[in-house]
Amino acid sequence: MNVKIDDSKSRSELIEIARLCYEKGYICGLEGNFSVRLADDLVLTTPRGSCKGRLNESDLVLTDMSGEPVSGGQPSTELKMHLMVYRHRPDIKAVVHAHPVTALGLTVAGVSLAAPILPEIICSIGNIPTAPYATPSTDEIPNSIVPFLKDHDAMMLDHHGALVYGSDLYDAFYKLETVEHFAQTLVVAYQVGRPIELTSAQVSRLHEIKSIYQTVPSVTN
């Protein structure tokens, strides 16, 4: 099938975000998967069994909304999870799945990132739930995230990693950075004492002013 669509900008951005995640240690080896929705029925994504920090634009895979390749090689077996996000959230244009060490470590230890602790988290991405454990690369994973998709833009997958999504790839990446920074802050708090949650009144006030926390548009050449 020959698809005529100018996806050059999306390819460039996807490669950049994948490399940033690799360089920051959010993924290693062959871990992680990334995607961007190009149209109602087209998704550009990373290929199966590849180091995401060493990809070229020509390595990327174009699929339809059922996950069938339209051009390129084979997509990640985790693409089902991305497609579930797109089906339930038409406002979402990009999905990032990575394994940020601190956030994942806390989740493995049974420490939730959902508690209301940092104002910046509440105002920018809300709380961060943990989806129940599901076997990677199976239908269990996409099914496990469905209850959280409507009200959350970031979540942890139990023993598996982080799933974040946004209006574009940069928006999703910034949310991933925020999740990991919050996790690092929690670790420090536990080392010197215990995290103190904000009160319900403080959280309500933050919800009133959260509109000022908007993602700054990406600057591209």
Question: pLDDT digit string (tens) for 5-54?
Answer: 779 999 999 999 999 999 999 999 999 999 999 999 999 999 999 999 99
Domains of the chain, CATH where assigned: 8-212 (3.40.225.10)
Q: Which residue has the tokens 């050449």?
A: 221
| 214, amino acid identity | Q
Confidence of residue 84 (pLDDT cuts 50, 70, 90): very high
Mean pLDDT of the chain: 93
At residue 4, the pLDDT reads: 62
At residue 3, the pLDDT reads: 52
Mean pLDDT confidence for 51-63: 96
CB 101 within 8 A of CB 28: no
DSSP state of 13: H
**Cα(49)–Cα(30) distance, rounded to whole angstroms?**
6
**Cα(98)–Cα(86) distance, rounded to whole angstroms?**
18
At residue 212, the pLDDT reads: 76
Considering the chain, what percentage of its residues have pLDDT values greater than 90? 87
- Asked if residue 118 has pLDDT above 70, the reply is yes
- Asked if residue 1 has pLDDT above 50, the reply is no
| 109, amino acid identity | A
Least confident interval from 61-70, 139-148, 153-162, 209-218 = 209-218
- Asked if residue 216 has pLDDT above 50, the reply is no
Q: Is 23 a catalytic residue?
A: no
Of 13, 16, 68, 78, catalytic: 78
Confidence of residue 137 (pLDDT cuts 50, 70, 90): confident
Confidence of residue 214 (pLDDT cuts 50, 70, 90): low
